[in-house]
Amino acid sequence: MIEKSLADAVAFPGIPETTLIRAMRYTLLLPGKRLRPLLTLLACEACGGSVDDALPAACAVEMVHAFSLIHDDLPCMDDDDLRRGKATNHVVFGEAQALLAGDALLSFAFEVLSHDAGSKPAPQVQKNLSPEIALVCTRELAMATMSMIEGQSLDMEGFGGHPSPEQIEGMERQKTGALIVASLRMGGIVTGASEEQLAALSEYGWRLGLAFQILDDLLDVEGSEKETGKRVGKDVEKGKRTSPSIFGVEQSRKRIEQLIAQACDSMKPFEKCAGALISLAESMREKRR
Amino acid sequence: MIEKSLADAVAFPGIPETTLIRAMRYTLLLPGKRLRPLLTLLACEACGGSVDDALPAACAVEMVHAFSLIHDDLPCMDDDDLRRGKATNHVVFGEAQALLAGDALLSFAFEVLSHDAGSKPAPQVQKNLSPEIALVCTRELAMATMSMIEGQSLDMEGFGGHPSPEQIEGMERQKTGALIVASLRMGGIVTGASEEQLAALSEYGWRLGLAFQILDDLLDVEGSEKETGKRVGKDVEKGKRTSPSIFGVEQSRKRIEQLIAQACDSMKPFEKCAGALISLAESMREKRR
């Protein structure tokens, strides 16, 4: 369902095929885990909503994620040539077009969320959200994107050399956590979730996001290119302070376990409706080595 | 009024000063013409609205403009070191932070437009637009940003070498016209302008935008760095096909005259209320050499 919606959103029927559109499509439609849009749909379901209503938000959040991947891989940032097992966007389309494709995906995410406002032809993912709901989603997504960019900026700066574990965790919350939390909250918002439900989704998201980031850092130490679809060992090479480098591999694994358990715990208010979100968190255990 | 709102919007009181925030502020607050936000306020006034209501949209459009300046100046794009008479963002903050500052300004523009949705503290420019109006503005701005990025992408590609005058004009409409039109339309939208009024504002905007682009190209041929605040002669150096290089300087000047007259003509439905927009278009005549 997510794959189809994403493909439809960037199909642009009747519009001439341009390099920009091909570059947007290239990264957005690479096979990925689709973690963030999945969280949006599952959060919507957990709150008793119909997943159809959550599709525009799900697509928008994956577009923001794809934008961040393209820009993070650029030579002036992490300078990566491999992503999701394929050449990165700038390797295929050149730096200028990759930069613009990232910009376009970010901008298009907000177009998708505001789809049925105004009279112009709407993107394919159009659903009928109320203006209030669409606007709250816009704000959630914009604020999370700002957090993510701020986290990336701090990460690039390296905190002037000797960050504390708290600083690193704070940066990782911004860099990875904020968008994951927004993914979940938007799923709740489109179905009119209560403040309590949204708070529970946020808690789950912060914990899952941090577990996910530590796992990612562990895979950079222990994983293979085949497994991760990207270059490994880059953090160590750059002397980047990550959870495994500070606390060691064993401690980091324990922290992931703890965070998964806490994430599942956050889902208690939903009783049986959050089964899929709990399974998703627990499935991260299997990926731990 | 615009300067104060922009400064307030990126003041972020109580939030620690980061490189990202300094880099965002640097380009956004450089002295500029503020053409786009001015158009938003004047269009709002022409439609009988209160300019206060148009300030969030005016700030948002200037943020999108600042985002495009930062990214266009990057080494992988136009590689410019001078903008508004100062060192460009990446010269001051480095490429990575400049890239992120552009991303952040784009994202923040949508946050400003969706300000009063949700419960978190709102940016300083917060006004009370209805969700419907804020969402239509979001859509206008997102679509115009996409057009602008598409235009920039075509410009970077150079159309495979031999673009026709129509292709160049089409590209310039996307690159410059779309955001100028959106600036005007948002000013109308916030005050509940009719479809006819919005159509007239669009027509004025397309004409003004094209005149403005041709003037910009002329200044690259005839202007000085002191006048323009940026490097000149770059188009010729790169063999870029612009209006003066295709039609010559004299013809280009005539085209500007014609476009200014047509832009003023588009304002007829507003009778006396569009005096400021007409003066603004006419003031471009004085800048023609």
**Percent of all residues in chain A with a pLDDT value above 70, rounded to a whole number:** 93
The pLDDT, as a whole number, for residue A240 is 74
Other CB atoms within 10 Å distance of the CB of residue A152: 26
C-alpha A126/C-alpha A54 separation (Å) is 11
Tens of pLDDT, residue by residue over B114-165, are 976 443 444 444 456 789 999 999 999 999 999 999 999 999 988 776 788 8
Give the mean pLDDT of A227-250.
Answer: 78
C-alpha A105/C-alpha A112 separation (Å) is 10
The pLDDT, as a whole number, for residue B119 is 38
Cα B136 from chain centre: 18
C-alpha A123/C-alpha B102 separation (Å) is 25
- What's phi and psi for B240, nearest 5 deg? -75, 135
The pLDDT, as a whole number, for residue A122 is 43
Q: Which two tokens stand for residue A41?
A: 């749909």
The pLDDT, as a whole number, for residue A127 is 55
Interfacial A residues in 113-132 facing B (CB < 8 Å): 113-115, 117-118, 120, 131-132
From B186, which residue of chain A is nearest by alpha-carbon distance? A118
Of B115, B135, B149, the CB nearest to A100: B149
Task: Kindly write down the DSSP assignment for every residue of B175-189, as one continuous string.
Answer: IIIHHHHHHHHHHHH
Single pTM value for the model: 0.93
Of A71, A114, A152, the CB nearest to B142: A114
Of A71, A110, A149, the CB nearest to B142: A110
Amino acid letter for position B206? W
Give the mean pLDDT of A168-192.
Answer: 95
B-chain residues near A69 (CB < 8 A): none
B-chain residues near A96 (CB < 8 A): 76-77, 153, 156
Contact A90, A83 (CB under 8 A): no
B-chain residues near A154 (CB < 8 A): 18, 20
Lowest-confidence segment of A33-47, B155-169, B248-262 by average pLDDT: B155-169
Amino acid letter for position B38? L
Which residue ranges form the domains of chain B, and what is each CATH number? 2-286 (1.10.600.10)
B99 touching A (Cβ < 8 Å): yes
Q: Do A114 and B108 touch (CB under 8 A)?
A: no
B79 touching A (Cβ < 8 Å): no
- What's phi and psi for A82, nearest 5 deg? -135, 130
Label residues A239-255 b or e (16+ Cβ within 10 Å = b).
ebbbbbbeeeeeebbeb
Q: Do B117 and A107 touch (CB under 8 A)?
A: no
C-alpha B7/C-alpha B59 separation (Å) is 10
A-chain residues near B102 (CB < 8 A): 103
